[in-house]
């Protein structure tokens, strides 16, 4: 006999007897019966989320319907006849309430799980249902039916329910077990690079209850969420493999899905995520969601993998600010990581960040040969499909799938490119269909994150010309924006940065994009220009293309001021100081940024002014000195700016004070020179 859960019973206040006679029925008994009836009805309405759970769900709903009849009769008798519930019956019914609550929780959990995980865990689920059914059977056995006023029909139904509960068996249905074995066998075959037979794949998915692109997408999202939450360590490897299998089946069995209007016309970015990832959570190098944010010597934050590769490639500067790094130590940004982790939990986005306890990235433990082979098969299938697509609509669907496949994971990007996607995508950049053009340029953007793919794009025939075409005449701002972001990605390689900077059409179109369009488009254009300005040999081409003027114009917009002032600082640092100082209003605008900009903007504005003063001398310093309140601006940044900002402000203050001292000394020398004294004496005598 199962033990009573007095903790759960205590949630229902019990009537205290005040005499030897049984206490009359209280409102608490009525509330208990109404709660039982409501809960039994809710359970009876549950539907199996997939065919493999139909037997368990159907059995439980039948039992719940019988319980509804029992509770209805007890409630009617207790209400209509003002009868009483024996104390033993009341206690037993309260325990039945607890069991039903656990049944409801189990049903809800099953409905929320991925279907593949359900089949993997079918034996544990069957055992959970059996244990709860056994508890219900025990409680029905001790329910004092002779003491309850029940009709013969209801008594017969309760007896039937008792017998049904006693027959509960924890054994897994042989059909379900065979399906699980078949799925695991298919995973092992995929690991050996055996392409699944389509008829076999179709049969498996029909049995699991996945029957279209929508259900495939839902299954993938659910599996990825469960993997991120680490809900089943035993089956994690199989679940990771099944993500790739379901994605492959979605394309092979049901065809490339039709892009929704939102996903076809909205903002795209590296490794796009739904919902839209906040900009501060993206790595400035890869533009992916940061998993392990770290701070470099310049104060900027990057994802550890991205900045490690950047430094490992021989770079000694901060990718975002262009500042020379005084050291290459990486400091974990734990506060930002906690914010990203919390956001991921709220948005149901998997977060496989750095596990400080185990000392290695969680994603490293998820390397899975079956998942990789399934991704390779998917990429090959889609590229072959694209090569033979007879219509624009079909091509758009396939390119959309390629974009989604390339949005995360270096392996996926490598598989798509190795299958030959890049040469096939380039012609679509000139498509008259805005959706197809946008999907194609975004797919290239996502592919370009992988360094090997940068070479493929740069060396593809007509690759740069196709991107320039989108910059100049893209059907949407989003397409132009992603073309600029692709150039930014390509320019992270030094040799390609120089090659792109020498292409005057690239510079001209980026400058034009930085002067018009929405703020996000301007930001990407200015970011690409900043990357090109990292090479001294590009400065003359950038100045000739009008970069200085466009950057100064952008300073008036707080949304893009950070990128614009960084461009001016980079130009001043690498030989463009004279062009900056000659531009109308450059000094006043930079001082304005020091007054009202963000911390990073103030830092770069101070750096730019220091460079201008040092390289252009008195022409720059004298104009700076004429700015009202410049001493207060410098003093304020010295006390409240970033580390680099305070240092640059201190340097600017020293330059300003030395210039003032030199001016005063020159004025004193003029006033006390012999010629000046003689002239003054002659004037006094006359």
Whether pLDDT at 482 is above 50 = yes
Q: Are 441 and 482 in contact (CB under 8 A)?
A: yes
Instruction: State the pLDDT at residue 292.
Output: 87
Higher local confidence (pLDDT), 364 or 294: 294
**pLDDT mean over 424-450:** 93
**pLDDT mean over 269-287:** 63
pLDDT bin (cut points 50, 70, 90) of residue 588 is very high
Report the range of poorest mean pLDDT among 45-49, 358-362, 460-464, 591-595. 358-362
pLDDT tens-digit readout, 63-85: 999 999 988 888 887 665 555 77
**pLDDT mean over 83-102:** 87
Instruction: State the pLDDT at residue 319.
Output: 80
Instruction: State the pLDDT at residue 187.
Output: 92
Whether pLDDT at 283 is above 60 = yes
Does residue 389 sit in helix, strand or coil? coil
Whether pLDDT at 503 is above 60 = yes
Query: Of 173-177, 319-323, 468-472, which has the strongest mean pLDDT?
Result: 468-472
**pLDDT mean over 667-674:** 69
Q: How far apart are CA 102 and CA 39, in angstroms?
A: 11
Whether pLDDT at 265 is above 70 = no
Instruction: State the pLDDT at residue 480.
Output: 93
Q: At what angle do helices 463-473 and 434-447 cross, to 10 degrees?
A: 130
With a CB cutoff of 8 Å and minimum separation 6, the contacts of 665 are none
Residue 81's CB is within 10 A of a number of other CB atoms, namely 10
Instruction: State the pLDDT at residue 490.
Output: 92
Query: Of 46-50, 251-255, 305-309, 500-504, which has the strongest mean pLDDT?
Result: 500-504
Q: How far apart are CA 532 and CA 537, in angstroms?
A: 9
Q: At what angle do helices 519-532 and 561-573 cross, to 10 degrees?
A: 20
Whether pLDDT at 454 is above 70 = yes
Q: Are 524 and 565 in contact (CB under 8 A)?
A: no
**pLDDT mean over 584-594:** 91
Q: Whole-angstrom distance between the N-terminal and C-terminal Cα of the chain?
A: 129
Q: How far apart are CA 494 and CA 508, in angstroms?
A: 20
Instruction: State the pLDDT at residue 8.
Output: 39
Q: How far apart are CA 62 and CA 48, in angstroms?
A: 13
Displacement of CA 524 from its chain's centroid (Å): 19
Instruction: State the pLDDT at residue 273.
Output: 37
Length of the chain: 686
Q: Are 573 and 538 in contact (CB under 8 A)?
A: no
Higher local confidence (pLDDT), 263 or 220: 220
Instruction: State the pLDDT at residue 272.
Output: 41
**0.85 surpassed by pTM:** no
Q: How far apart are CA 203 and CA 435, in angstroms?
A: 34
Report the range of poorest mean pLDDT among 53-57, 310-314, 428-432, 472-476. 310-314
Q: Are 652 and 613 in contact (CB under 8 A)?
A: yes
Whether pLDDT at 303 is above 80 = yes
Instruction: State the pLDDT at residue 672.
Output: 61
Whether pLDDT at 586 is above 70 = yes
Does residue 144 sit in helix, strand or coil? coil
Instruction: State the pLDDT at residue 351.
Output: 60
Higher local confidence (pLDDT), 298 or 402: 402
Instruction: State the pLDDT at residue 352.
Output: 54
pLDDT tens-digit readout, 328-351: 888 888 888 878 887 877 766 656
- What is the average pLDDT score of the chain? 83
- Residue 213, CA distances (Å) to 6, 109, 325, 401, 440 in order: 49, 23, 48, 11, 21
Environment class of residue 594 by beta-carbon count within 10 Å: exposed (0-12), middle (13-18) or buried (19+)?
buried
**pLDDT mean over 50-70:** 86
**pLDDT mean over 156-163:** 90
Whether pLDDT at 375 is above 80 = yes
DSSP E strand stretches across 496-581: none
């Amino acid at each position: 006999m199962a033990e009573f859960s007095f903790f759960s019973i205590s949630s229902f206040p019990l009537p205290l007897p005040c005499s030897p006679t049984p206490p009359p029925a209280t409102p608490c008994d009525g509330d208990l019966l109404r709660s039982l009836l409501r809960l039994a009805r809710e359970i009876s309405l549950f539907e199996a989320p997939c065919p493999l759970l139909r037997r368990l769900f159907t059995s439980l709903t039948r039992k719940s319907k019988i319980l509804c009849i029992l509770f209805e009769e007890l409630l009617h008798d207790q209400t209509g006849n003002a009868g009483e519930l024996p104390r033993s019956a009341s206690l037993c019914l309260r325990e039945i309430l607890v069991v039903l609550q656990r049944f409801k929780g189990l049903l809800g959990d099953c409905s929320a799980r991925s279907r593949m995980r359900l089949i993997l865990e079918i034996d544990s689920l069957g055992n959970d249902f059996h244990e709860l059914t056994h508890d219900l059977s025990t409680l029905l056995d001790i329910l004092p039916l002779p003491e309850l006023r029940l009709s013969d029909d209801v008594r017969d139904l309760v007896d039937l329910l008792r017998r049904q509960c006693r027959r509960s068996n924890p054994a897994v249905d042989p059909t379900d077990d065979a399906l699980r074995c078949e799925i695991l066998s298919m995973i092992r075959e995929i690991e050996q690079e055996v392409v699944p037979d389509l008829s076999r794949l179709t049969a498996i998915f029909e049995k699991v209850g996945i029957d279209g692109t929508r259900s495939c997408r839902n299954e993938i999202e659910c599996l990825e969420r469960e993997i991120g939450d680490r809900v089943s360590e035993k089956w994690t490897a199989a679940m990771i493999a099944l993500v790739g299998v379901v994605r492959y089946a979605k394309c092979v069995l049901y065809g490339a899905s039709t892009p929704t209007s939102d996903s076809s016309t909205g903002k795209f970015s590296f490794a796009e995520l739904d919902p839209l990832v906040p900009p501060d959570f993206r790595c400035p190098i890869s533009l992916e969601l940061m998993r392990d944010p770290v701070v470099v010597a310049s104060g900027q934050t990057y994802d550890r993998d991205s900045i490690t590769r950047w430094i490992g490639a021989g770079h000694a500067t901060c990718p975002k600010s262009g500042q020379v790094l005084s050291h290459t130590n990486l400091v974990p940004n734990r506060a930002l990581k906690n914010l990203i982790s919390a956001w991921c939990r709220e948005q149901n986005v998997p977060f496989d960040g750095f596990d400080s306890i185990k000392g290695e990235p969680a994603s490293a433990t998820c390397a899975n040969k079956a998942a990789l082979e399934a991704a390779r098969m998917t990429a090959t299938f889609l590229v072959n499909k694209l090569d033979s697509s007879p219509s624009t609509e079909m091509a758009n669907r396939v390119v959309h799938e390629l974009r989604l496949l390339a949005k995360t994971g270096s392996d996926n990007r490598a598989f798509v490119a190795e299958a030959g996607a890049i040469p096939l995508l380039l012609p679509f950049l000139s498509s008259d269909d805005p959706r197809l053009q946008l999907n194609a340029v975004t797919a290239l953007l996502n592919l370009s994150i992988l360094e090997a793919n940068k070479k493929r794009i740069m060396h593809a025939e007509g690759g740069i010309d196709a991107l320039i075409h989108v910059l100049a005449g893209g059907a949407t701002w989003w397409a132009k924006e992603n073309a600029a972001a692709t150039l930014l990605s390509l320019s992270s390689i030094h040799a390609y940065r120089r090659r792109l900077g020498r292409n005057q059409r690239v510079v001209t179109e980026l400058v034009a994009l930085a002067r018009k369009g929405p703020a996000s488009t301007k930001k990407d254009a200015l970011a690409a220009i900043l990357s090109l300005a990292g090479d001294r040999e590009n400065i003359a081409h950038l100045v000739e293309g009008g970069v200085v003027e466009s950057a100064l114009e952008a300073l008036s917009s707080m949304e893009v001021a950070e990128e614009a002032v960084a461009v001016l600082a980079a130009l001043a640092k690498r030989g463009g100081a004279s062009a900056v100082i000659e531009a109308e209003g450059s000094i006043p605008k930079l001082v304005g940024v020091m007054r009202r900009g963000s911390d990073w903007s103030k830092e770069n504005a101070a750096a730019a002014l220091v460079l201008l003063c040092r390289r252009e001398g008195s022409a720059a310093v004298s104009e700076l000195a004429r700015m009202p309140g410049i001493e207060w601006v410098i003093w304020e940044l010295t006390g409240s700016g970033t580390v680099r900002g305070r240092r640059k402000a201190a340097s600017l203050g020293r330059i300003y004070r030395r210039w003032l001292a030199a001016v005063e000394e020159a004025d004193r020398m003029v006033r006390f020179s012999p010629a000046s004294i003689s002239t003054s004496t002659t004037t006094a005598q006359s």
